Homo-oligomer: A and B are copies of this chain.
C-alpha cells in the first residue's frame, strides 16, 4: 500500500471514529488500529492530533465548497444562488451524516471558534460563496441590511438544525419539503 493510501486510510478511520465517538472518545491508538496502521505511522503523515483534526475539517469543507461552486454559474440571480447554496449544503449533510457530525463537533469546540473567527473577519483569501452572496444581496437591496453573522444564522441555523433532526429521525426531508424550507429561509433574509 502506497504512502498516499495510508494517509487516506488514516483520515477515513479518523473521520469515522471522531464523528461517532466524539473528539475526546477516539484515542490515536484506536484510529491507528482502525486504519490498519501502527500508532507511530500517523505521525509520519500528521504532525499532531490537532493537525489531523484540522486537516480533516479542511478536507470536508473543501469538498462542500467544491460542490457549491460546481453549480454556481456566474451571473445567475441572487435568489437562485441562495437556493443553490442552501440545497447543496442541506443535501450534502443529509447524504453525509458522518461529515455532518464531524463538522458540528468541530464548530462546537475550541478548534471551531478559532476557525470561525478567521472566517468571519475574511482573513485568508479563500473564496467564500455565502459571504459574497449576502454582501451582493444587501448592496442590491434584495436582502435585509443586517450584520453578516445574523444572515448566516437566519440561513444556516435552520438548515443545520434540520439536518440534525433528519439524521436523528425526527423528520424526513424529501425533495419538496427541502424546497419549502429553503423558501422559508429566503423569506427570513429577503427584504
Q: Does A108 contact B (CB under 8 A)?
A: yes
Tell whether, in the assembled complex, residue B153 and residue A165 are in contact, meaning their CB atoms are under 8 Å apart.
yes
Distance, CA A91 to CA B162, complexed state (A): 23
Measured CA separation A168–B160 after assembly (Å): 19
Per-residue B-contact encoding for A157-187, CB less than 8 Å = 1, 0 else = 1111110010010110000010011001101
* With A146-B180, A157-B157 as contacts: A116 and B168 at CB distance below 8 Å: yes
In the complex, which of the residues B116, B150, B160 contacts A162, with contact meaning CB atoms closer than 8 Å? Answer: B150
Complex CA gap A117/B161 in Å reads 10
Which residues in A have some Cβ–Cβ distance to B below 8 Å?
Answer: 21-25, 104-105, 108-110, 113, 116-117, 120, 144, 146-147, 149-150, 152-154, 156-162, 165, 168, 170-171, 177, 180-181, 184-185, 187-190
Contacts of A152 in B (CB 8 A): 161
Inter-chain CA distance A187–B184, complex, in Å, is 8
B-chain residues with CB within 8 Å of residue A23 when the two chains form the complex: 24
**Which 10 pairs between the two chains have the least Cβ-Cβ distance?**
A157-B157, A188-B188, A153-B161, A157-B158, A157-B161, A149-B171, A153-B158, A108-B108, A153-B162, A154-B158
State whether A171 touches B189 (Cβ < 8 A). Answer: no
CB contact under 8 A between A184 and B188, given known A24-B24, A150-B171, A165-B153: yes
Given A184-B188, A188-B185; A120-B154 close (CB under 8 Å): no
> A49: shortest Cβ distance to chain B, in Å?
13
Q: A184-B150, A188-B154 are in contact. Are A168 and B108 (CB under 8 A)?
A: no
For A187, the chain B residues whose CB sits under 8 A away are: 187-188, 190
The reply to whether A147 and B171 form a contact with Cβ atoms under 8 Å apart is yes
